[in-house]
Structure 1
Amino acid sequence: MANVTFQQEPVTLVGNEVKVGDEAPSFKVLSNDLEEVTLTDYKEKVKLISVVPSIDTGVCAEQTKRFNEEADQIENVKVLTVSMDLPFAQKRWVNQHDIKKLDTLSDHRDAHFGKNYGVLIEELRLLARSIFVVDSNNIVTYVEYVKEVSNHPDYDAALEAARQAK
Structure 2
Amino acid sequence: MATVTLKGNPVTTSGELPKTGVDAPNFKLVATDLSSKSLNDYLGSTVVLNIFPSVDTGTCAQSVRTFNEKASQLDNTKVLCISKDLPFALSRFCAAEGLENVESLSDFRDGNFGKSYGLTFVDGPLEGLHSRCVVVLNKDAEVIYTEQVSEITEEPNYEAALNSLS
TM-score above 0.5, yes or no: yes
Residues 51 and 130, structure 1, Cα contact 8 Å, conserved in 2: yes
Q: Give runs of ≥4 in structure 1 deviating > 6 Å.
A: none
2:119 is aligned with 1:119: yes
Root-mean-square deviation (CA, aligned residues, Å) is: 1.1
2:165 is aligned with 1:159: no
TM-score normalised by the chain length of structure 2 = 0.94
* Paired residue secondary structure (1:73): coil
CA distance in structure 1 between the partners assigned to 2:57 and 2:160 by the alignment: 23
The Cα of 1:16 is off from its aligned counterpart by: 4.2
User: For residue 146 of structure 2, what is the aligned residue in structure 1?
Assistant: 143
Count of equivalent residues: 163
* Paired residue secondary structure (1:109): coil
User: For residue 109 of structure 1, what is the aligned residue in structure 2?
Assistant: 109
* Paired residue secondary structure (1:66): helix
CA distance in structure 2 between the partners assigned to 1:61 and 1:102 by the alignment: 12
Residues 133 and 156, structure 2, Cα contact 8 Å, conserved in 1: yes
User: For residue 12 of structure 1, what is the aligned residue in structure 2?
Assistant: 12
CA distance in structure 2 between the partners assigned to 1:46 and 1:2 by the alignment: 26
Residues 15 and 114, structure 1, Cα contact 8 Å, conserved in 2: no
The Cα of 1:72 is off from its aligned counterpart by: 2.1
User: For residue 32 of structure 1, what is the aligned residue in structure 2?
Assistant: 32
User: For residue 64 of structure 1, what is the aligned residue in structure 2?
Assistant: 64
2:132 is aligned with 1:129: yes
Deviations 1:111-166 (A, max 9, x none): 1111111111122111000000000111100000001111111111011113x2xx
The percent of aligned pairs where both chains have the same amino acid is 40
CA distance in structure 2 between the partners assigned to 1:21 and 1:145 by the alignment: 17
* Paired residue secondary structure (1:141): strand
Residues 16 and 115, structure 1, Cα contact 8 Å, conserved in 2: no
Residues 133 and 148, structure 2, Cα contact 8 Å, conserved in 1: yes
CA distance in structure 2 between the partners assigned to 1:76 and 1:144 by the alignment: 22
* Paired residue secondary structure (1:110): coil
CA distance in structure 2 between the partners assigned to 1:157 and 1:16 by the alignment: 19
The Cα of 1:37 is off from its aligned counterpart by: 0.8
Structure 1: stretches of 5+ with no match in the other structure: none
* Paired residue secondary structure (2:32): coil
CA distance in structure 2 between the partners assigned to 1:105 and 1:67 by the alignment: 14
Structure 2: stretches of 5+ with no match in the other structure: none
CA distance in structure 1 between the partners assigned to 2:26 and 2:9 by the alignment: 30
The Cα of 1:7 is off from its aligned counterpart by: 2.3
